[in-house]
């Protein structure tokens, strides 16, 4: 099951930032012995691929911290992040890492399954991020956008590293994600109630 946790952590990371988990895997595979990518994924460690991912990451980091621009970026990333999640899950769950010595044993007969799984996980995290950001922007007059984005980037980096080195800790992230979903839904419900109360008060006046 460590393969599943590694892939899940990397795909969830891609849902926050498409390029961080791919760049993390590529750098670790190229410059360390912490991860050994399978034959079909060795391109992630190519120098040109790493350079392109670094440039795309820089653009993403800047765009995601500017109110309004971050919304446009999220629309574009609706395709990019799930795609990256599929690649990250497929590569991560099939790679030999310091914690996974028998990669591919879980998905040996269905190679497409990890990619589709990664797409769905990254899409779910991306949709939650995209729904939360307008609320954060509205309640903080846009000031919260760079703070939230920085926190998301930091979480994406941490989750990518943890997924490769200590995949069991991915379970903590999943618990935190579920807790955030419940909090976010309650927050949205409270805001709707406040708007209804404000409209009702206006009508009475």
Residue 186 lies in a domain: no
Q: CA 15, CA 142: separation in Å to the nearest integer?
A: 22
| 202 against 35, higher pLDDT | 35
Cα within 13 Å of Cα(39), Cβ side: 0
Total domains, the chain: 1
Residue 196 lies in a domain: no
Residue whose structure tokens are 């009508």: 203
Residue 40 belongs to what domain range?
2-169
Q: CA 61, CA 75: separation in Å to the nearest integer?
A: 15
Looking at the predicted structure, is the pLDDT value of residue 100 above 70? no
Read off the pLDDT of each residue in 109-123 and give the average, rounded to a whole number.
81
| 92 against 119, higher pLDDT | 119
Does the predicted model carry a pTM greater than 0.85? no
Read off the pLDDT of each residue in 174-189 and give the average, rounded to a whole number.
74
pLDDT level of residue 114 (50, 70, 90 thresholds) = confident
Looking at the predicted structure, is the pLDDT value of residue 126 above 80? yes
Token pair belonging to 76:
């574009």
């Amino acid at each position: 099951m460590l393969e599943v946790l590694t892939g899940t952590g990397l795909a969830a990371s891609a849902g926050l930032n498409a390029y961080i988990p791919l760049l993390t895997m590529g750098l670790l595979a190229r410059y360390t012995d912490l991860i050994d990518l399978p034959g079909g994924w060795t391109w992630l460690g190519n120098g040109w691929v790493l350079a392109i991912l670094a440039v795309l990451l820089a653009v993403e980091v800047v765009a995601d911290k500017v109110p309004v621009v971050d919304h446009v970026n999220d629309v574009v990333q609706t395709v990019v992040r799930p795609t990256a999640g599929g690649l990250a899950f497929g590569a991560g769950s099939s790679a030999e890492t310091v914690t996974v010595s028998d990669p591919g044993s879980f998905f040996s007969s269905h190679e497409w399954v990890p990619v589709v799984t990664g797409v769905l996980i990254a899409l779910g995290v991306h949709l939650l991020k995209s729904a939360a950001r307008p609320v954060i922007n509205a309640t903080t007059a846009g000031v919260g956008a760079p703070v939230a984005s920085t926190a998301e980037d930091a979480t994406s980096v941490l989750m990518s590293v943890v997924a490769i080195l200590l995949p069991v800790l991915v379970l903590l992230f999943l618990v935190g994600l579920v807790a955030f979903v419940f909090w976010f839904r309650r927050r949205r419900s409270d805001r709707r109630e406040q708007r209804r109360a404000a409209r009702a008060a206006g009508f009475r006046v």
